[in-house]
Amino acid sequence: MDVTGLRHIAIIMDGNGRWARARGLARARGHRAGVDSVRDIVTDCASAKLEWLTLFALSTENYRRRPRTEIRTLMALLRRFMIAERATFMKNGVRLRTVGRVDELPPKVVKEIRATEELTAGNDGTVLSLALNYGGRREILDAARRLAAAAQSGEVDLDDLSEDDLSRRLDDPLMPDVDLLVRTAGEMRISNFLLWQVSYGEIHVTPTCWPDFRRANLEAAVDDYRRRSRRFGGLLAGEER
């Protein structure tokens, strides 16, 4: 997979439930199959030397509104994934980071996430950022709160603010802007994902449900991205006339 010129791919992994229903299976089976896609896509991105991959694993709304049994399944899968993938992350140079209110997840899960973050912190390959108990508006609001505190203490000057002053106070100050946002299972929505970072991102929506999403699907998304002309609000050479 050629990811030249692309720094950050973010994916809204949707359709686990639909994938399971279409096969007469329980939703949990869809999530379990979804973990296989996560594993394969992370490995492919690491081999391609992509700089940054963010996966929307759980929104704040999912965490609050899904039935307890489903959340329990997702938490168990996440915990198992953290333990099982450590060796592969180390072998492939993957560095795990997170955005979202991770500390509100069950302590047993938080412990394994933090351990994997620490273990992989020195790796210099692909950053795998997991959005967990994440909401984009909440992230911006928290950054605004930190900015207000910095203004109050005189650390920043309110009359001389830059976008960078806010970016640096988001959940992960190191996260680059999103180049390509992929959404599986067909819905044309951003769903409160990386609202700040996605500003100039190209959006690719595929009808494929997440458990069926593999390298060929990601390659198709990257090809689609390459066909777009990114103007960032300006004009391309030759368009002035």
Q: Is the dihedral of CA 59, 60, 61, 63 positive or negative?
A: positive
Minimum distance, C-beta of residue 211 to ligand FPP, in the bound complex (Å)? 8
Residue 100 or 156 having the CB closest to ligand FPP: 100
Distance set, CA 118 to CA 8, 75, 158, 233 (Å):
22, 20, 35, 39
Residue 62 or 192 having the CB closest to ligand FPP: 62
- One-letter amino acid of 22: A
Strand order from edge to edge, sheet including 52-59: 95-99, 127-134, 52-59, 8-12, 180-183, 202-205
The answer to the question of residue 202 lying near ligand FPP (CB under 6 A) is no
Minimum distance, C-beta of residue 173 to ligand FPP, in the bound complex (Å)? 22
Q: Binding string, 43-62, against ligand FPP, x = CB under 6 A?
A: ------------x-xx---x
Query: Which stretch in 28-36, 43-51, 164-172, 190-198 sits in contact with ligand FPP by CB under 6 A?
Result: 28-36
DSSP single-letter state for residue 212: G
Distance set, CA 201 to CA 99, 205, 234 (Å):
18, 13, 15
Residue 119 or 151 having the CB closest to ligand FPP: 119
**Known catalytic residues?**
14, 62
Contacts with ligand FPP by CB under 6 A lie at 13-18, 31, 34-35, 38, 55, 57-58, 62, 74, 77-78, 81, 130, 185, 210
